[in-house]
Chain A
Amino acid sequence: MTTSEWVLMAAVFGASTVEMVEALTIVLAAGTSRGWRSALEGAATAVGVLGVLVAAVGVPLVRYVPIDALRVVVGALLLSLGMSWLRKAWLRASGHKALHDEDAIYAETVADLAVDGPRVRTRDPVGFAVAFKGVFLEGTEVVLIVISLGASQGRLALASLAALAALVMVVVVGAIVARQLSKVPENLIKLVVGIMLTSFGLFWVGEGAGIHWPGSDLFLLALVGSLAVLTSVVVPWLSRSAPLRTASVSS
């Protein structure tokens, strides 16, 4: 495999992990408060719809859209998303923004669902809808990343496999740790993925526009390394004026 394929797999895997942890929190809350049958059916239906979306949108993109145009559009999408994730991760790591608290989200969702009625043993439309919506909304972002990264390199199957691996890992870990999703170092993953998406975005925009990066695919590693160094400088600098608890990058 080439350097860019390894980075592609790591980026898709990381991004999928972050989004799926958020989706799992909602599914766990729906299952606990409304019954597992409907919650799991809702989650499975959403995964199915997302799979159809990847095939319906991704495959024609790879086959029919000129690669340079695709790389500019996809690169711009990834760059915009990556810079936004990176900014958020920097602000969270430096204490300017509260960390994403899965425990709080879980408790809030359970409380909301409890208000809607008691737990039911048969099919429950509320539990189904909440689980479906949670998985579908978080999963749409995964689908966009899978299609963007996969299509721009003509490796849609590889990107889908990386997302699938993340899904399996999150489900297995979720089943083991159950409600302790706050233990997942979400901000660290978001930071790493933000660096990767920004690097991919710059790389593809440049390639699509006609810039020839030195070292070809290896330049991706230079971009990733530069952003990692920048992060190690910016986070402590931002921390100096942080009003919140100063969190380490890994928290």
Chain B
Amino acid sequence: MAVALGAAAHRVGVVMTTAIARAGRAFGRFWLDFLVGDTPELFVVTLVVVAISFGLASVPRAVAVVVVPLLAFGAVVWSAARGRVRQP
């Protein structure tokens, strides 16, 4: 009786662990796809924009106001240019 109960509990544990692992993988895949997707360069640029914004917060305002948007705009243009389909 005790052995049977132990085996059943083990099976339930395995099923639960598998389900949690599957859900965790799906959650991770969702965020990876959402944040990085097929443009990892834009994700990296986002991190660079955040870092530069903190770095420029203490310098004269005109510098940050020009540099931060230009960096992001330039990155999208560069990424789109990279994504062009080349004609044969």
List residues of chain A with CB under 8 Å of any chain B CB.
72, 75-77, 79-81, 83-84, 86-87, 90-91, 96-97, 140-141, 144, 198, 201-202, 205-206, 208-214, 219, 223, 226-227, 230, 234, 238, 241-244
Contact = CB atoms under 8 A, between A and B. Distances in A.
B28 interface: no
A205 to B, nearest CB: 5
Contacts of A230: 73, 77
Contacts of B83: 87, 91, 96-97
A234 B80 CA distance: 9
Interface residues of B, number: 35
A192 B43 CA distance: 20
A72 B75 CA distance: 19
A86 B64 CA distance: 23
Given A84-B39, A141-B34, A238 B58 contact: no
A105 B46 CA distance: 32
Nearest to A194: B76
Contacts of B61: 211-212, 214
25 contacts: A76-B47, A76-B49, A79-B72, A83-B79, A84-B39, A84-B42, A87-B39, A87-B80, A87-B83, A90-B80, A91-B83, A140-B30, A202-B72, A205-B50, A206-B53, A206-B68, A209-B53, A211-B56, A211-B57, A211-B64, A211-B65, A211-B68, A212-B61, A230-B77, A242-B85
Contact of A84 (B37, B47, B86): B37
B69 interface: yes
B45 interface: yes
A36 to B, nearest CB: 28
Given A76-B46, A96-B84, A140-B30, 13 more contacts: A81-B34, A83-B42, A83-B75, A83-B79, A84-B39, A87-B39, A87-B80, A198-B72, A211-B64, A213-B65, A230-B73, A242-B85, A243-B87
B80 A144 contact: no
A87 B79 contact: yes
Contacts of A205: 49-50, 53, 68
Contacts of B30: 140
B73 A226 contact: yes
A211 B85 contact: no
B76 A86 contact: yes
Contacts of A141: 34
A201 B75 CA distance: 14
Name, among B61, B77, B84, the residue most crowded by chain A CB atoms within 10 Å (CB to CB): B84
